Amino acid sequence: MEAQDTTVAPVPERRTRRRPGLERLLAAADEVLYEEGIAQTAVQRILERSGAARGTLYGHFETKEQLVEAYLERRHERTIAVIEDAVAEVDETDPHQVFDALMSVAERRSNDEVFRGCAFAVAVAELPDETGPAVRWARTHKHAVKGVLEASLRGRTADPVATAEALVVLYDGSLVSAAMRPQEGSFEAARSAGRLVLDAALGRQ
């Protein structure tokens, strides 16, 4: 019998279509909060980067925490969209191809001009409050990534939940490792370990 994942990830409501001024503000927040850190960044710094009016900011967000929440939501949506597009280009019924597509997304991300690892891990390190937006969105994001992997494993392994969890650990670990040791082959090591996990789960020799 397949193990059931009973952990419930929050499912945040989608926002309405964003206006250009708000989108510029969120794009700047995405860059600055990731590059410079949430705790270290003043709201004024984001306004300067975006060129948005102060009224645009306070017309949508009463506090910095609300802006951080919107930043993490946007980062989650964009990252999952990239992952889904990558997976759509391979055989979605082949767990090996799906995991490789996921790792390719991670590796491309590491080539960005500023790369500090997983944005959600970085946010949680700064804002570890269990009830705060960083932990909430980190959990939501992890469940979404895990869901992509789990979908390719259902009906093919005895425990798709546990196998997907193991692969997510490799994915997360590769991002952390690549940020700390960029020249040491973190993504290829994760791919190799993932192949072993999948071969064992699929009963291959």
Residue 184 is predicted with a pLDDT of 86
Which residues are within 8 A (CB) of 39 and not within 5 positions of it... i.e. 6 or more apart? Answer: 126, 127
Model confidence band, residue 18 (pLDDT cutoffs 50, 70, 90): low
Residue 4 is predicted with a pLDDT of 45
Residue 17 is predicted with a pLDDT of 53
pLDDT tens for 139-166 read 999 999 999 999 999 999 999 999 999 9
Residue 46 burial (CB count, 10 A):
24
Tell me the average pLDDT across 121-134: 96
> Which domains are assigned to the chain?
68-202 (1.10.357.10)
pLDDT tens for 172-204 read 999 999 999 988 899 999 999 999 999 999 997
Model confidence band, residue 8 (pLDDT cutoffs 50, 70, 90): very low
Instruction: Please state, for a pLDDT cut of 70, what percent of the chain lies above it.
Output: 91
Mean pLDDT (the chain, rounded): 91
Residue 1 is predicted with a pLDDT of 43
